[in-house]
Structure formats: C-alpha cells, structure tokens
Structure 1
Amino acid sequence: MTERWLDEIEMRAWVAFLDTSNLLQRRLDQQLREDGGLTQPQYELLTRLAEAPGQRMRMAELALALVASRSGLTYQVTQLEKAGLVRREACAGDDRGVLAALTEQGVQALRRAAPGHLRVVRENLIDLLDRDQLVTLADTLGRARTHLRTAGGDEPRRTGSS
C-alpha cells in the first residue's frame, strides 16, 4: 500500500493542532504549578474525582477517563495521596476494587488552581473563537476522540510525569 502524504491544507491543520496543543499545555502546566503546585495530569485527575458521584471513582474507570495507563494513574494517585489530596478506599462488594477519593485538601487545591486554569484556557483558546468555531472544534475533536477510544488495541501511553 502506498502512503498518502499530507497535502498542504492537511499539513497546516496537523501542525496547527500540534503547536496549539503543545503551547497551551505549556502555559497550563506553568499556571498549575504556580497556583496549585499541580501538574496537568494531577489537576485533571482531581477534577474528574470532583465531578464523580461521591467524589470517588474506581481506579480502573479513572484510568480510562484520563486516557492514562494503570501504572501512570497509580503513580499520580500515589503523589496526590502523599500530598493529602486523594485517598484510596476499598471498593464495597469487590475485594479487588480500589477507589480513589478526593479529600477536603484536594477540593481546596482545585479551588486554588481552577480560576487561573480557566483564565488560561479562555485567553488562549475559548475566547479566541466564535460560537460556530467552538461547535466545529468540539465536533471535530469529538469525532477523532471517539475514533481513537473505539479503535482499541493500544493502552494509553501517558505516564506518571506527563
């Protein structure tokens, strides 16, 4: 099979996506470290727990939601546990199941970091686009995300330090 190289427009879209995601990630990382002493994966983990029923989730479900390997998630939970932001709990009715639960300190860490996080996201992406562009972006990236999540086969590669 012959490889189909990216044409000029496809390459522009690809490079714009890469550059934008990398630049935005860098700004978010800086803001989160300054405002909350957190990494982006840690902030995302705390946010998922805050939104979950009872502010807790099974570790396996959390790994899937975060697109993280189980070992990467375990590393992040361990770091957050040491900081007092998360605790592990046994899963009722399942001896093998483990829950990650948000602590009050974790809630406070989110409250400190969230305003700056929102500001960076708004200033560097959301507020630069009009409503139609946001809908197109959400639909387009949502389609790619659905494809990647359902394509299967690969365990996520994001690890403890990313």
Structure 2
Amino acid sequence: MAEQTSEPRWLTDEQLRQWKSLMALMMALPPALDAQLKRDCGLNSFEYHVLARLSDQPAGKLRMSELSAYTQGSPSRLSHAVARLERAGWIERRNAEARCVNAHLTEAGRRKLVEAAPAHVREVRRLVIDLLTPEQFDALGEAARLVVGQIEPGWMDAMERNSAGDC
C-alpha cells in the first residue's frame, strides 16, 4: 500500500497523458457500445449484460443478489431492468428457498441474446479488439483485471466462475 504523506505524489507528464487516455476510453466506449445495442436490438448495455450473465449459467438462472453483484448494478437498477426484460418475455423471476428470488433466462431471452450478439461482437471488434495487437489486448485485459481487483477484490474471480444460482 502506498505510504500516506502530506504531499501528494503528482503524476508525471507521461502518467497524466496515459491517465487522460484511460479516462477518455472509460467515457467514450460505454456510450458507443450502448448506442449500437439500442440501435440494433433495442437493449441497453446493462440489459444485454444481464441476459449474457444469465446465459453463462448452466441452468440460465442466478439469484437477484448475485446478478446485482455481477452486473455492478444497484438492486433498484437491476430490478427495473429485470422488470423490463420480464415484460418482453426474456426473463422470469421465481421465488426460491429462503425468501430468495432467482432470475431465469427464458428461451425467448436466449433467442434475443443470440440475435443481439453478432452485431455487438462486430462493434466490440471494430472499436477495440481489431485495433490492438494480440499483445496489446492481452496487456489491456491484464491491466483491467488488476485495477478491478484493487477496487473489488474477488469480483473478477466471481465473474469467471459459473455458479448454479440456487438460493
């Protein structure tokens, strides 16, 4: 851990340049991906990632609390998104043991994700992956995992694990 002093460790000119680039990426990429999803399939990025996370699960279900953690959405935001996805017939909420609620991906939801994925992957490739060498992309992914691990320890491990989603 960095030592706390009264004088901040200011960024060098090069660090500031790189930091500004990172901030620009974090500000520009999400709206660009969101616009593509809205235009091509009527989903926003958050809704797409809710469907994608559920599709990653063997039974296509997760506890709402787990889904909230995986998507980094507040319970309220997740509840609103799931309600919209329910109205569309893409998700069902079902009560489970211990007063727990599971979100279940429906067959219609799986079809919607399959329909949305090709255009989304094309946009991800166009905006990020195809611009970088494999080494640059690997370094970007590794750097992202380190930063996320500093902010939310264990979150990346949880994202990469498949859980049953049972209460």
TM-score interval w.r.t. the shorter chain? 0.7 to 0.9
Match of 2:158 in 1: none
Deviation per residue, 1:19-60 (Å, 9 max, x gap): 123222222111111111000000011000001121100111
Match of 2:119 in 1: 116
Rounded to whole Å, the distance in 2 between the matches of 1:22 and 1:82 is 30
Q: Does 1:97 align with 2:100?
A: yes
Deviation per residue, 1:86-140 (Å, 9 max, x gap): 110122xx23111001112211211221111101110110111111111111111
What root-mean-square deviation, in Å, do the aligned CA atoms of Structure 1 and Structure 2 show?
1.5
Point out where structure 2 has 5 or more consecutive residues left out of the alignment.
1-5, 155-167
Point out where structure 1 has 5 or more consecutive residues left out of the alignment.
152-162
- Check whether the contact 1:86–1:100 (CA below 8 A) recurs between aligned residues: yes
Pick from 69, 75, 85: which aligns with 1:70?
75
Match of 2:138 in 1: 135
Shift >4 Å, 4+ stretches:
none
**How many residues end up aligned between the 2 structures?**
149
Residues 28-107 of structure 1 correspond to what in structure 2 (within 5 A)?
28-91=33-96, 94-107=97-110
